[in-house]
Amino acid sequence: MQVRKNLPFLYRLRFALWGIAHGLRSEYSLRAQAGAFLAVLIALVVLRPPPVWWALVLLASSVVLAAELFNTALERLADHLHPEIHPEIRIVKDCAAAAVMICSLGALSVGIALVVEFWRRL
């Protein structure tokens, strides 16, 4: 068994990038969230808000993407360990999906606050 602990940073970075690539290939939800993130980046470039808004929007967006990746990892592990349909596994998956939804709603609220802020300035 190969131990993958305490490897140099570039090796660990490669594992993380592989995880992102796998998530993007295999999960429609992650692709949709990544597309929304790109749209948000374009909006930030166009609107040029103060740095605090960049920080809030990017933090909220990164939380959503991380939640999607955690959800993907948890679902894959659950399916691998217990491939049959099971009510307890369903609850685990539903809770993970709910966590993504809550993060997404939080990010949406940051986006709405940004729009309100810019609307008031017009």
Look up tokens 């991380």; give the residue.
66
pLDDT digits (tens, 9 = 90+) for 81-102: 999 989 999 999 999 999 999 9
Looking at the chain, list the stretches that DSSP marks H as alpha helix, in order from N- to C-terminal side. Answer: 9-26, 28-47, 51-81, 87-121
Q: In the numeric block, which tokens belong to residue 72?
A: 């993907």
pLDDT digit string, tens, across residues 5-23: 788 999 889 999 999 999 9
> pTM (2 decimals)?
0.88
Region for residue 48 given its phi and psi (left: phi exceeds 0; alpha: psi -120 to 50; beta: otherwise): left
Residue ranges of domains in the chain, CATH in brackets: 9-121 (1.10.287.3610)
